[in-house]
Amino acid sequence: MEYHPENVPEVDDLEELVLGGDEKALCNFLALLQPADMAVIFDRLPRDLWPKVVAPLNIAQISDLMEELPDHLRDDLAELLSPNQLTSAFEEMASDGAADVIADLPRPLAKKVLKALPAEDRREVETLLKYPEDTAGGLMQIELVSVLERATVDEAVEAIRANAEEAGDLHFVYVVDDDNRLVGSLSLEQLILARSDTSIGKLVDRDFHCVTTDVDQEEVARMFRRYDLVSLPVVGDQGTLLGRILHDDALDVLEEEVDEDILRMAGAEEPELVYTDQILKIAWVRMPWLISTLLGLTIPALLTRLFQITFPYMATLVPFVLVIGAMGGNIGTQSATIVVRGFATGRVDFDNLGRFLYKETIVSFIIGITCGIIAGAVAILWQDDAILGLTVAISMTAAIIISAILGVLVPYLFRLIKIDPAVAAGPTVTTINDIVAIGIYYLVALSIVA
């Protein structure tokens, strides 16, 4: 079957088949599904229909589905399986997938599954579980094909044959010395084209990328992106070959990081959570940002009230507080977003802070003057009040420039003190910029009026 983008099956088709009760048609439909599509469909399928859809699945399908499902749905699937089915499903998985799934299962269930696994699989999974989830060690799988430097092409082919079933996605063979230290890699293409008695040592590519187990997953993902890697070997402290990371796992990390960044910028933590049905928890993670914003906003509200009482004749100023505050917040968010995304993609870092800040200052100067003139003109046209116009124009310009500079500096500062800079483009910092902008407005107003 050819898989074009338009023939991805829909949840409605499955629902119809399940409710129709034709078991054979259901089996045929499921057999045609890619695991990734099945996972999407399961996510959308009403929970009470799950048992009927799971029943006809074979172990390989269950295993694939388990790996593809979002974390929060795996428990639900596990509950529908017999202990035997569950163990067999884990035996089918690659070591990294099995370790990831087991790490996310409820503790007692995880223990039970681990205990039921064959000794070798259990050892592999337990080894992987020791590495923190967000490091190269936590990402790698143990299944790979390695050959000795002094082996021949024929022997390498035999090694592939022996491991082909266990280690999927073989694009490279890793070459090691007698102490299992990594000396290079060899693509299957090179292997196919070489004569069968050639020594591997003559073919091996000794220019290679590798990471140690403790390298952060973001760094790993960045290497895949920068060097267009398909797989990346992971080594121990002495250079011993321990495992490999595949491109799809690196891609998942990239997506995860992007999720985190984007949602953090909106003040919603835990991207894994916000797309689930756990409404109370969702409200709970989104609330802190909103409440801290709310409390922060009482400062300009207080200032405004104070201003109203102290300078009653300047009541005309008050409506513009809104505009200046919001504009400060807006440009600050722009600058912070550009910096945060620049950090994530390597286009901005501590090396080029000076240049970036200089650029941002000029850009915000141009924007500030323009917006200042527009706002000042609106104020004069509307209220026929030159002092109001001047106050609005000057403070709008100043607020925009200062907010833009803060928008650059705050993410840098956050990164320096090891807080995720994405937080700096979030609502809390927008609020700080609101407050700063309003403060500037009142200061300018006071100095012009006084």
- Give the residue, chosen from 111, 130, 161, 202, that forms a contact with a second copy under the rule CB under 8 A: 161
Enumerate residues 361-380 that contact a second copy by CB under 8 A: 362-363, 366-367, 370-371, 374-375, 378
Which residues have C-beta within 8 Å of that of residue 160, sequence separation ≥ 6?
145, 170, 173, 188
Question: What DSSP state is assigned to residue 141?
Answer: B
| Closer residue to a second copy, CB minimum distance, 31 or 55 | 31
| Closer residue to a second copy, CB minimum distance, 78 or 327 | 327
Q: Strands 231-235, 241-246: parallel, antiparallel or unpaired by DSSP?
A: antiparallel
| Closer residue to a second copy, CB minimum distance, 202 or 206 | 206
What minimum distance in Å lies between the beta carbon of 424 and a second copy? 12
| Closer residue to a second copy, CB minimum distance, 84 or 345 | 345
- Give the residue, chosen from 308, 310, 413, 448, that forms a contact with a second copy under the rule CB under 8 A: 308
Rounded distance, CA 61 to CA 57, Å? 6
Rounded distance, CA 8 to CA 415, Å? 42
What minimum distance in Å lies between the beta carbon of 106 and a second copy? 24
- Distance from CA of residue 190 to its chain's centroid? 35
Contact 157, 205 (CB under 8 A): no
| Torsion over CA: 426, 376, 362, 440 (sign) | negative
Question: What DSSP state is assigned to residue 199?
Answer: B
Q: 167-186 mask for a second copy (x: CB under 8 A)? A: --xxx---------------
Strands (E), 18-152: 146-148
Enumerate residues 123-152 that contact a second copy by CB under 8 A: none
Enumerate residues 217-276 that contact a second copy by CB under 8 A: 219, 222-228, 230, 246-248, 251, 254-255, 258-259, 261-263, 265-268, 271, 274-275
| Closer residue to a second copy, CB minimum distance, 55 or 386 | 386
- Give the residue, chosen from 29, 289, 343, 441, that forms a contact with a second copy under the rule CB under 8 A: 289
What minimum distance in Å lies between the beta carbon of 8 and a second copy? 9
Rounded distance, CA 425 to CA 434, Å? 13
Residue 202 in the binding site for a second copy (CB under 8 A): no
What minimum distance in Å lies between the beta carbon of 141 and a second copy? 13
What minimum distance in Å lies between the beta carbon of 365 and a second copy? 9
Contact 433, 403 (CB under 8 A): yes
Contact 175, 191 (CB under 8 A): no
| Closer residue to a second copy, CB minimum distance, 86 or 422 | 422
DSSP result, 32-53: H--HHHHHHHHHHS-GGGHHHH
- Give the residue, chosen from 111, 130, 359, 449, that forms a contact with a second copy under the rule CB under 8 A: 359
Enumerate residues 319-358 that contact a second copy by CB under 8 A: 319-323, 325-327, 329-331, 333-334, 336-338, 340-342, 345-348, 351-352
The interface region with a second copy, picked from 17-25, 101-109, 413-421, 430-438 by CB under 8 A, is: 430-438
What minimum distance in Å lies between the beta carbon of 268 and a second copy? 5
Place of tokens 């803060």: 406
What minimum distance in Å lies between the beta carbon of 349 and a second copy? 10
Residue 10 in the binding site for a second copy (CB under 8 A): yes
What minimum distance in Å lies between the beta carbon of 163 and a second copy? 10
Which residues have C-beta within 8 Å of that of residue 222, sequence separation ≥ 6?
346
Enumerate residues 397-416 that contact a second copy by CB under 8 A: none
Enumerate residues 45-74 that contact a second copy by CB under 8 A: none
| Closer residue to a second copy, CB minimum distance, 179 or 277 | 277
| Closer residue to a second copy, CB minimum distance, 86 or 289 | 289
Task: With CA atoms as reference, report the closest residue to 375 among 330, 308, 313, 433.
Answer: 330
CA dihedral of 118, 119, 120, 125, whole degrees rounded to 10: 90
Q: Strands 146-148, 182-187: parallel, antiparallel or unpaired by DSSP?
A: unpaired
Which residues have C-beta within 8 Å of that of residue 136, sequence separation ≥ 6?
211, 212, 213, 214, 215, 216, 217, 220, 232, 234, 245
Size of the site for a second copy (CB under 8 A): 126
Q: 25-44 mask for a second copy (x: CB under 8 A)? A: ---------x-xx--x---x
Question: 262-266: which pairs have CB atoms within 8 A and are 24 or more residues apart?
Answer: 262/422, 264/420, 264/422, 264/423, 264/425, 264/426, 265/333, 265/337, 265/340, 265/422, 265/425, 265/426, 266/426, 266/427
